[in-house]
Amino acid sequence: MIVAIDGPAGAGKSTVTARLAEALGFVRLDTGALYRTVALAATRAGLEPDDPSLGGFVAGLDIVVRPDGILLGGEDVSLAIRTPEMSVASSRFAAVPCVRAGLLDLQRGLGRARDSVLDGRDIGTVVFPDAEAKIFLTASVRARAQRRLDELQGRGVDADLATVMAEIEARDRADSERAVAPLRKADDAVEIDTTCLDFDAVVEACRRVVEAARATRG
């Protein structure tokens, strides 16, 4: 079974999908981490999104997803891909068709290997349009910025709310306006606004969506 959870930056997808997958006994796959990993690798290599060699570069990357993190060429980059700089860079590289195409088979293969919960921007619309359960998490810009700020400061990253809000607004524009697989709510997705909900309430709301989908499947 595939549970697809989409939504804008800072909506709580990562933490919610991790807890939901644990509660369901499913595997959790953070597809956004794959794009961040590509962005990190490309940035280190000095490549820009319009570089003609980018498609071949992505195809040659050694990316391994593990329950405890993500490896790039054997290096654990789980923390390196979570900086504000990589948030901006991943949005730029994710808009490139060859990057999305290069990661599509990887996402589908990982997702269908076991019962899975996947989160990202286009899981329910492009990667798994036939997912059995689809959820769209959202929240106000301020709420999302505060959550991201708390996350960054918890990792010792120096940041302020105004800057993080500006970055999230820029990310929203880039994700929703890109020509390839833009961020949007799938027609059959259940939207959950997390602005005024605590973490446990969001997880429970998602669990109810999944259980309803299971009941429909019989």
Task: State phi, psi for 88 to the nearest 5 degrees.
Answer: -70, -45
49-63, 85-99, 129-143: range with lowest mean pLDDT? 85-99
Contact predicate 69/28, CB 8 Å:
no
Please report the pLDDT score of residue 102 as a whole number. Answer: 92
Longest Cα pair distance anywhere in the chain, in angstroms?
51
Two structure tokens written together for 218: 């019989």
pLDDT in tens, 148-183: 899 889 988 889 999 999 999 998 998 888 888 888
Distance in angstroms (rounded) separating the CA atoms of residues 21 and 182: 25
CA 195, CA 61: separation in Å to the nearest integer? Answer: 37
Inform me whether the pLDDT recorded for 109 exceeds 80: yes
Torsion of CA 21, 24, 27, 31, to 10 degrees: -40
Which uninterrupted H or E stretch holds 27? Answer: strand 27-30
Prediction pTM value: 0.81
Q: Bridge partners of 119?
A: 5, 30
For 157, half-sphere exposure in the C-beta direction (CA atoms, 13 angstrom radius) is 18
- Which domains does the chain carry? 2-211 (3.40.50.300)
What is the spatial distance between Cα 140 and Cα 68, in angstroms, rounded to a whole number?
30
Query: How many other β-carbons are positioned within 10 Å of the β-carbon of residue 20?
Result: 24
